[in-house]
């Protein structure tokens, strides 16, 4: 899922709005999508797509609990074993790495994959 609203990326104002509405409505992504649709200049025909975009943006970019530091050497090595067992089930693998999102873990593994071969 691309972090976009109606075919375009989030602007800074929309990110602040998402932070504020998430604080008020929690994980009610359908409600948040309706509010975004009402406040967006473009006509949005599919509220579920807006909700998915908001949810994706929150869980992969804006959530304050996301770990933003680089992987340590120990984490690098700990990533190898579960990937051999679980393959590309990133949500499962990420459970072993608190604070990392499945998207960050997947991207890190795939970008660094060549160095492990």
- Blockwise average pLDDT, block size 10, the chain, 117 residues: 56 87 90 75 61 85 85 84 87 88 85 53
pLDDT of res. 15 = 86
Instruction: Return the pLDDT at 117.
Output: 36
The pTM (predicted TM-score) of the whole model is: 0.65
Instruction: Identify which of 60, 48, 58 has the alpha carbon closest to the alpha carbon of residue 25.
Output: 58
Dihedral of alpha carbons 91, 96, 101, 105, sign: negative
Q: How many CA atoms lie within 13 A of 68 on its CB side?
A: 7
What integer pLDDT is reported at residue 40 of this predicted model? 54
């Amino acid at each position: 899922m691309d972090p976009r609203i109606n075919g375009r990326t989030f602007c800074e104002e929309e990110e602040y709005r998402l932070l504020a509405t998430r604080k008020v409505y929690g994980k009610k992504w359908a409600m948040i999508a309706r509010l975004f649709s009402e406040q967006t200049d473009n006509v949005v025909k599919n509220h579920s797509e807006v909700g998915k975009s908001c949810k994706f943006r929150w869980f992969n970019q804006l959530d304050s609990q996301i770990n933003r530091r680089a992987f340590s050497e120990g984490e690098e090595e700990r990533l190898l074993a579960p990937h051999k067992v679980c393959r590309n089930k990133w949500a499962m693998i990420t459970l072993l790495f608190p604070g990392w999102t499945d998207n960050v873990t997947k991207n890190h593994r795939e970008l660094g994959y060549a160095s492990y071969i």
